[in-house]
Amino acid sequence: MTKVTSSKNPSVVGRSVTFTATVKTTGAPGSPVRTGTVQFRDGSTPLGAPVAVRSNGTASFTTSALSVGPHTIAADYSGTAALTPSTATLVQRVDPTATTTSLRSSANPSTFGRPVTFTAIVRAADAPGWGAPGSAGLIWGGTVEFFDGATSLGNVPVGAGGAASLTTGALGVGVHRITAVYGASVFGGGSSAVLWQTVAKTTTATKLTHSPTSSRPGDPVTFTATVTPRGGGAVGGGFVQFRDGNRILALAVAVAADGKATFTTSALAAGSHRITASYSGSAGLAASSASLTHSVTKPPKAPPAPPRPPWWWRW
């Protein structure tokens, strides 16, 4: 008769498991059989070549190729001229390996409108040396889904390096709870990781010009504020307030698509004027301001009329 046992049941996918067949003669107590071979099978699929029975009546086969799920393992003793063949079976359960997932950001904090890349690394939790050769336990299959809060950012396959990366430039200003979820698969059980991503407003620079650069009372003067985001790009909204010292000249002039806001006035009195243009900022852009000094000068006085000659000079 034949009996088959497993070194670990259930076992973990990718980990070695050894099946041992013990062949004895029938009857009590039964003597070990020392000749013949044993063919191990996974269902109807042979597992390797037939294994010779050792002197203690056993034959063993080791494999790490079983997939996740139940497997009916059979040990078929070949028999000899004097001994009849016999078979024994067992059900081997193979579980996914437990995994751990880590998550990192390419830039934290990042800047609004600029791409940031999130990378998840998936490893076998209980076998740091298990995985692809030289992989230090890295999982090389399945998918990772990235979330911003409850909103899915996308699914990314896990590559041979155990990594799945997603790049986005769509995060709004503020703090975001980013989660990477590795779904359970034939490669390993599910796991997840979280990080808090801070997205800051893009800094801006405001430049202020005036035309003409000096004027006289009553002359029209045009002030132009040009707002530029750091690194370039469109301004995308906001307003500019123009002030003369603490006096508001224009409360909110909309910034055009080219980043400019223009204000014209002819109400500046004679003297020196500190003109400030303050950009309000927008959903993704920070506020900024610029100042300049504009001089308004009075025209020179006309020379006095010459005195009239005495009446007697007129004769």
Q: Give the residue among 234, 201, 226 at the shortest CA–CA distance from 289.
A: 226
Across the range 95-124, mean pLDDT stands at 93
What is the reported pLDDT for 302?
76
Q: Are 65 and 19 in contact (CB under 8 A)?
A: no
Q: Nearest 5 degrees, angle CA 141-CA 154-CA 124?
A: 30
Sign of CA dihedral 79, 85, 88, 94: positive
What is the reported pLDDT for 300?
82
What is the reported pLDDT for 136?
55
- Which tens digit of pLDDT belongs to each residue from 283-307? 899 999 999 999 999 988 877 877 7
Residue 80 has pLDDT above 50, yes or no: yes
CATH superfamily membership of 2-95: Immunoglobulins (2.60.40.10)
Sign of CA dihedral 106, 107, 112, 118: positive
CB atoms within 10 A of CB 160: 12
What is the reported pLDDT for 58?
97
Which pairs with CB-CB distance under 8 Å and at least 24 residues apart come from 19-22?
Answer: 19/47, 19/60, 19/61, 19/62, 19/63, 19/73, 19/75, 19/90, 19/92, 20/58, 20/59, 20/60, 21/51, 21/53, 21/58, 21/59, 21/60, 21/75, 21/77, 21/88, 22/57, 22/58
What is the reported pLDDT for 231?
80
Residue 60 has pLDDT above 90, yes or no: yes
Average per-residue pLDDT for the chain: 91
What is the reported pLDDT for 131?
42
Instruction: Give span(s): CATH 2.60.40.10, the chain.
Output: 2-95, 99-200, 204-296
Q: Tell me the three-class secondary structure of 1-59, residue by residue.
A: CEEEEECCCCEECCCCEEEEEEEECCCCCCCECCCCEEEEEECCEECCCCEECCCCCEE
Q: Are 237 and 265 in contact (CB under 8 A)?
A: no
Map residue 102 onto helix, strand or coil.
Answer: strand
What is the reported pLDDT for 236?
67
Residue 38 has pLDDT above 50, yes or no: yes
DSSP string, 245-299: TTEEEEEEEEPPTTSEEEEEES-PPSEEEEEEEEE---SSB--EEEEEEEEE-PP
Task: Determine what percent of the chain is predicted with pLDDT higher than 90.
Answer: 75
What distance in Å separates the CA atoms of residue 116 and residue 112, rounded to the nearest whole number? 10
CB atoms within 10 A of CB 304: 6
b/e per residue 204-226 (b: at least 16 CB within 10 A):
bebebebeeeebeeeeebebbbb
What is the reported pLDDT for 127?
53
What is the reported pLDDT for 129?
43
Domain 204-296, classified CATH 3.30.1330.10, yes or no:
no
What is the reported pLDDT for 160?
79
Q: Are 66 and 42 in contact (CB under 8 A)?
A: yes
Count of alpha carbons within 13 angstroms of residue 265, beta-carbon side? 19
Q: Where are the beta strands (DSSP E) in 129-270?
A: 143-148, 151-157, 163-168, 174-182, 191-200, 204-211, 214-215, 221-229, 239-244, 247-254, 260-265
Across the range 27-51, mean pLDDT stands at 92
Which carries the bigger pLDDT value, residue 52 or residue 126? 52
What is the reported pLDDT for 206?
97
Q: How far is CA 244 from the centre of its chain?
A: 47
Q: Is 65 exposed, middle or buried (0-12, 13-18, 19+ CB in 10 A)?
A: exposed
Residue 135 has pLDDT above 70, yes or no: no
CATH superfamily membership of 99-200: Immunoglobulins (2.60.40.10)
- Which tens digit of pLDDT belongs to each residue from 198-217? 999 999 999 999 999 999 99
